[in-house]
């Protein structure tokens, strides 16, 4: 036991250096006024008062909520439909399709977003721009939706693979019995497939909420929160506050607030598990 603990010390020190120390530092700086150069000045809850009284903050939170609602529905529905259809495909073909669907997910986010910007959403010659005669990324009312579409293209294939793997674990006897009872495909999905993959479904929905409140790269690469803050989210606002405006104290307060929002679904999930949800 002692030798095992000694072998774990390097890993524990690395974790402490990379995760614990920065986390504690962020919490500390959230209560200070600091520009990154001078000595931090302790100001208590002033940063949080400024954040919660700022209308921009609540606009940004609403953007995060809209983003979350989109990803809790559109990519999930698409992934469920495709995963359900894969059940009717021969095993070898299913592996090919699952690999194809997963390719966008493993591509670098920078490459994907730049490709979509240049080919589909370019304000002058983008394919989608020309079809709808509308600059989606350059218009406040549609900028966030356009970025969400880019993210969906890269994300739904991963979800489809997860749901398909869960469906593969379902005993085919349930489908045979449902077929004998006269159930159609929709009834089989509703009363057999969905209940059997419910633990996976709940977990992915909860993780989607967490990831949605931490989203940064897609938005920062495409619009940096514009136009007119229309696509600004908590992560981009935090980054700008700290590194553009050199308000590291306020940026740290925003970061801790963002983490608290993202922690809510995790707490709900742990609560479900603690109440006897082994299947959840």
pLDDT in tens, 91-134: 889 999 999 999 999 999 999 999 999 999 999 999 999 999 99
Is residue 52 within a helix (H) or strand (E), and if so which, with residue range?
helix 46-52
> Would you list the domain boundaries of the chain?
55-243+261-274
Q: Cα separation of 64 and 236, whole Å?
A: 11
**Given a cut of 90, is residue 153 above it in pLDDT?**
yes
Assigned fold of 55-243+261-274 = MetI-like fold (1.10.3720)
**Given a cut of 80, is residue 278 above it in pLDDT?**
no
pLDDT of residue 280: 46
In the three-class reduction of DSSP (H, G, I as helix; E, B as strand; rest coil), residue 32 is classed as strand
Pair of tokens at residue 5: 């603990």
Q: Cα separation of 196 and 200, whole Å?
A: 9
- Range 211-223 average pLDDT: 94
Across the chain, mean pLDDT equals 92
pLDDT of residue 3: 72
pLDDT in tens, 223-260: 999 999 999 999 999 999 999 999 999 999 999 999 89
Inter-residue contact 36 to 262 (CB < 8 Å): no
Inter-residue contact 192 to 170 (CB < 8 Å): yes
**Given a cut of 60, is residue 5 above it in pLDDT?**
yes
pLDDT classification of 262: cutoffs 50, 70, 90: confident
Q: In b/e form, how buried is each residue of 222-232, taking b as 16+ CB within 10 angstroms?
A: bbebbeebbbb
Q: Is the pTM of this model over 0.85?
A: yes
- Pick the more confident residue, 263 or 278: 263
Residue 233 neighbours by CB distance under 10 Å: 28
Nearest of 48, 8, 38 to residue 260 by alpha carbon: 48
């Amino acid at each position: 036991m002692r030798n095992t603990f000694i072998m774990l010390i390097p890993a524990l020190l690395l974790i402490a250096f990379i995760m614990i120390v920065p986390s504690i530092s962020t919490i500390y700086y959230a209560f200070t006024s600091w520009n990154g150069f001078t000595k931090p000045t302790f100001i208590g809850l002033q940063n949080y008062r400024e954040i919660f009284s700022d209308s921009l903050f609540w606009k940004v939170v609403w953007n995060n909520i809209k983003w979350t609602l989109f990803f809790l529905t559109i990519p999930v529905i698409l992934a469920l439909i495709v995963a359900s259809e894969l059940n009717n495909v021969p095993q070898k073909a299913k592996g090919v399709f699952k690999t194809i669907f997963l390719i966008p997910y493993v591509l670098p986010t920078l490459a994907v977003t730049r490709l979509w910007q240049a080919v589909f959403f370019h304000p002058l010659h983008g394919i989608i721009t020309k079809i709808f005669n509308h600059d989606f990324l350059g218009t406040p009312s549609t900028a966030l939706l356009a970025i969400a579409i880019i993210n969906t293209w890269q994300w739904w294939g991963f979800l489809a693979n997860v749901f398909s793997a869960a469906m593969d674990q379902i005993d085919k006897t349930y489908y045979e019995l449902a077929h004998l009872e006269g159930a159609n495909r929709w009834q089989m999905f509703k009363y057999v497939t969905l209940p059997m993959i419910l633990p996976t479904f709940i977990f992915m929905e909860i993780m989607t909420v967490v990831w949605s409140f931490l989203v940064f790269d897609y938005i920062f690469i495409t619009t940096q929160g514009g136009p007119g803050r229309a696509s600004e989210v908590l992560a981009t606002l935090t980054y700008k506050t700290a590194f553009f405006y050199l308000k590291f104290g306020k940026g740290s307060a925003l970061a801790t607030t963002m983490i608290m929002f993202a922690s809510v679904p995790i707490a709900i999930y742990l609560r479900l598990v603690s109440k006897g949800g082994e299947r959840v």
